[in-house]
Structure 1
Amino acid sequence: MKARGLRTPLLLLLVTVVVMAKLNYIQRWGGFKEQATSEKNMNSTVHFFIQSYNNASNDTYLFQVQKLIQSQMQLTTGVEYLVTVKIGRTKCKKNETKKASCPLQSSKMKKSLICTSLIYTVPWANYYQIWNNSCQDSKVPI
């Protein structure tokens, strides 16, 4: 008799586990999709990236994003963005007060990089984290 009384709760538990497993499967294997570059979340994600890059860089000068080359997104427990950007060294030094606009270097100090980053964000909690970043010198203009 006790086994019969447990049948319904066990069946409900099994259905819940199967549904949750399917949702996790869809989230993990949905893959990255191309993302429109003008969206608010993308702009704040790219802004977070360049701030993080400048904070971690040993360069005396600040860098700024010149061009968003590619952006892809994937929904998980938050949003993962895979972005490729071209960044350039500005004439503004890190220790200077923030200026509204920093022109790019145009002399022998000129430097451009192509960076690909995987950025995890929970936009509704204003949380951002760089999971992976790779930058290389940009010799060819994009």
Structure 2
Amino acid sequence: MGVECWRNTLLLLAALVLAAKLGHFQRWGGFQEKSVSKKNMNSTLKFFIENYNNVSNDMYLFRIDKLLQSHMQLTTGVEYLVTVKISRTKCRKNSTKSHSCPIQSGKNLKKSFICNFLMYTVPWMNYYQLWNNSCLEA
């Protein structure tokens, strides 16, 4: 039984090597640039801005003003490396109409940031996790 077990293991290993050589396994090629479109990333961007507003000490809500750059990588889910411009809105944090809030135009309240974030998602399970985030005033 010991020899047969080794033989089966070697056959399985040989089949895996052959399949890899023939290209049957998808190779994860690192981050690839994704077309810059809010429409393609709505749920990811929504998760990011909700997270940002929840941890921000600002009394006003921020919203994504512009999607500047987007990269994605397939792993066990999808990883996004994204750069966005966010701007302070006229809605206070306790407001329920956060999606339709106009951006502040007054000199004293106008504020924008350029944010880079790395997010892991499993979209088919509606799972999102913000791994890293950094924002600098624009």
Aligned partners of 2:61 and 2:98 also within 8 Å = no
Name the aligned partner's letter for residue 136 of structure 1: L
Q: 1:94 matched to which residue of 2?
A: 93
- Please give the per-residue CA displacement for 1:19-77, whole angstroms capped at 9, x wherever unaligned: 79x969x33xx111111233755121111111110011111000000000000000000
Q: TM-score, normalised by structure 1?
A: 0.82
Aligned-residue Cα RMSD (Å) equals: 2.4
Identical residues among aligned pairs (%): 61
2:73 equivalent to 1:74:
yes
2:123 equivalent to 1:136:
no
Determine the C-alpha separation between the residues in 2 that align with 1:82 and 1:39.
Answer: 14
- SS of corresponding position for 2:97: coil
1:90-129 equivalences under 5 Å are: 90-107=89-106, 108-129=108-129
Q: Structure 1's 16 and 63: CA in aligned 2 closer, same or farther, altered over 3 A?
A: farther
Q: 1:60 matched to which residue of 2?
A: 59
Q: TM-score, normalised by structure 2?
A: 0.84
Name the aligned partner's letter for residue 128 of structure 2: Y
- SS of corresponding position for 2:100: coil
- SS of corresponding position for 2:45: helix
Determine the C-alpha separation between the residues in 2 that align with 1:79 and 1:111.
Answer: 31
2:23 equivalent to 1:11:
no
Structure 1 residue 133, shift from structure 2 partner: 0.3
Give the gaps of 5 or more residues in structure 2: none
Runs of 4+ in 1 over 6 A off after TM superposition: none
Q: Structure 1's 62 and 74: CA in aligned 2 closer, same or farther, altered over 3 A?
A: same
Give the gaps of 5 or more residues in structure 1: none
Name the aligned partner's letter for residue 74 of structure 1: Q
